[in-house]
Structure 1
């Protein structure tokens, strides 16, 4: 099945965007900090055609056709992301009257691999072609984030959309979310990244993400800074009340880990980078409290199976684990983990 079978016409434009795994830098982007994700070889492809006054979309993943007028409120389904990007374009002054979409998604949903940003960026790039919009890849990312935050209701930072729009496969994407300066850095020689998905799925807007963001904002306010990115010394957060001290401790230390991680990648130092991943996970689990016992166990098992580093990836409250390992150990690593977790997907 395809666009023509659903809508009775050929698509007029198509585009794709990858999911991402975050190597370092969780919950730092909405505090104007540093992040270090990497695009995955799994993409969402969107075919698009013109429409007037509405957005229609068919998703192969959920096998549903949905349609909604432009003035409709969000309804908690996949169409929210597509209507959101159309509205973001219109609010930015681009004359987009509506659209039809056919969506094919390879990015596992609910695994913390940013299937939503892949969908938003792919849809925006298809609309850019369809309506000949003068948008750079960076502007696409900004509009995608605006759609998810303002319309869908998830107050996400800009990391996912930037790496989906500007990242390069096989490289880590170092991003300063305040200035939007970025650099694609090669992964260490003879290593590979593995994504470990237990199928724990989650819903960000309903699982505490917005609460953590509010706690980080309150911590920054009490410390008298614009964002926690402006706190360079982790000891400065210790005077905050619980749990704000723990939330701020994670964000401040995580920013430092990203900067050290970028330097490790520039040196090709896989061992140091792996150690930073482990530190990141422990901070996410103990200070930011967004891990789950299943994820903590999977991280420890991955390290025991030979990973140089492992951590949860994404916002937490479910999702997946990312591991860095020597390329030659991948098959033994995979077999060891599958023997412990029979339902595990190793991507």
Structure 2
């Protein structure tokens, strides 16, 4: 039995510049962190006593004789990519719902790759784990996805991730004084809107519109440098909130599918209650929203958004890890 634990992520600035259609021409950069909410994948070799060869348990239960029969696209693609000929049982559990803007699908792909590699007795480096997950999602499944989620899930930590024109990437941890990092975390509030969406559909509309939004994407790139400058200085942390507010306006302009009247109402209610700025996480359309709020006003914001689920969280630094390693199933 192998169990992996892979974090979800929050992307603060630069989202949109991690699409290959953009960074292969202009380069890209994002500022994001993994958080202490996880995707758990357990894998074991299936004993040869069943009619099925593959058992996959998530929101559905699939018992299949061949990989091609598996409906879950990531499981089917990963098993094909890794040439898994031996019978397998795979279980998925998550701390937060899927299709919610926290990179859950990429965390799943990264976690499954990590688990199957361990089951075969192989160690896989974080950078290779991220690269393989990007390849599977973008080239095999043909999802309209960026590249930051897989990297953040594999590496973990609060990072500046740069995407180079040749398709490679760099991961640089953001170095902050501990008290400054605590101050930043203490100003953040995460809420679940209750609205789920298919990110690939929204991402496609953004990708199709990238050439028409070059100015906005350049400003979103610049905001990464500005945010790091603020965090590494003695400037009021509220400046990050104002930068988030500005970037939310840029993000909304990338596609008319990014926001909705319901999301706009949530955002306006949070700002009216005292939030300085915030954004919808992920491609858009639903899922989680993060706000920067002074601690003294957080109760007021919670009351204004009492119809939503408030999810306390912390940054984490571990990335995808094998947390149980019993390859013989003992």
**Which residue number corresponds to residue 136 of structure 2?**
147
Structure 1 CA distance, aligned partners of 2:65 and 2:161? 35
Question: By how many angstroms is 1:68 displaced?
Answer: 5.9
Structure 1 CA distance, aligned partners of 2:132 and 2:86? 17
**What TM-score comes out, normalization by structure 2 length?**
0.79
Q: Which of 252, 262, 267 is the matching residue for 2:233? A: 267
**Which residue number corresponds to residue 160 of structure 2?**
174
Structure 1 CA distance, aligned partners of 2:209 and 2:75? 29
Mark the CA change 1:302 to 1:268 in structure 2 (over 3 Å): closer, same or farther.
farther
**What TM-score comes out, normalization by structure 1 length?**
0.76
Structure 1 CA distance, aligned partners of 2:148 and 2:53? 29
**Which residue number corresponds to residue 230 of structure 1?**
none
Q: Secondary structure at the match of 2:136?
A: helix
Structure 2 CA distance, aligned partners of 1:74 and 1:63? 11
Question: By how many angstroms is 1:97 displaced?
Answer: 4.9
Q: Which has the higher contact order (CA 8 A, sep 6+)?
A: 2
Q: Secondary structure at the match of 1:133?
A: coil
Are residue 294 (structure 1) and residue 262 (structure 2) matched? yes
Q: Which of 251, 254, 279 is the matching residue for 1:311? A: 279
Mark the CA change 1:22 to 1:98 in structure 2 (over 3 Å): closer, same or farther.
farther
Residues 188, 268 of structure 1: 8 Å contact kept: no
Question: By how many angstroms is 1:304 displaced?
Answer: 2.0
Structure 2 CA distance, aligned partners of 1:287 and 1:211? 8
Unaligned runs of at least 5 residues, structure 1: 1-11, 220-243
Residues 238, 292 of structure 2: 8 Å contact kept: no
Which string of whole-angstrom CA distances, capped at 9 and with x for unpartnered residues, describes residues 246-277 of structure 1?
A: x2222221111112112222226422211111
Residues 196, 346 of structure 1: 8 Å contact kept: yes
Question: By how many angstroms is 1:25 displaced?
Answer: 1.8
Question: By how many angstroms is 1:291 displaced?
Answer: 1.6
Aligned residues between the structures: 290
Are residue 252 (structure 1) and residue 218 (structure 2) matched? yes
Give the root-mean-square deviation of aligned CA atoms: 2.5
Question: By how many angstroms is 1:66 displaced?
Answer: 4.4
Residues 3, 43 of structure 2: 8 Å contact kept: yes
Structure 2 CA distance, aligned partners of 1:307 and 1:68? 52
Mark the CA change 1:262 to 1:141 in structure 2 (over 3 Å): closer, same or farther.
same
Which string of whole-angstrom CA distances, capped at 9 and with x for unpartnered residues, describes residues 152-211 of structure 1?
A: 33121210011111122xxx3211022522233354626242222211111123x33223
Question: By how many angstroms is 1:73 displaced?
Answer: 7.6
Structure 2 CA distance, aligned partners of 1:275 and 1:96? 53
Alignment of 1:198-213 (within 5 A): 198-205=193-200, 207-213=201-207
Structure 2 CA distance, aligned partners of 1:45 and 1:329? 34
Residues 206, 254 of structure 2: 8 Å contact kept: no
**Which residue number corresponds to residue 157 of structure 1?**
146
Residues 2, 44 of structure 2: 8 Å contact kept: yes
Structure 2 CA distance, aligned partners of 1:110 and 1:29? 19
Which string of whole-angstrom CA distances, capped at 9 and with x for unpartnered residues, describes residues 84-124 of structure 1?
A: 2233334xxxx775632111111222221111111111112
Structure 2 CA distance, aligned partners of 1:24 and 1:54? 44
Mark the CA change 1:181 to 1:327 in structure 2 (over 3 Å): closer, same or farther.
farther
Q: Secondary structure at the match of 2:33?
A: strand
Structure 1 CA distance, aligned partners of 2:29 and 2:94? 28
Residues 17, 118 of structure 1: 8 Å contact kept: yes
Mark the CA change 1:174 to 1:97 in structure 2 (over 3 Å): closer, same or farther.
farther
Are residue 126 (structure 1) and residue 111 (structure 2) matched? no
Residues 55, 83 of structure 1: 8 Å contact kept: no
Q: Which of 131, 135, 138 is the matching residue for 2:124? A: 135
Question: By how many angstroms is 1:26 displaced?
Answer: 1.9
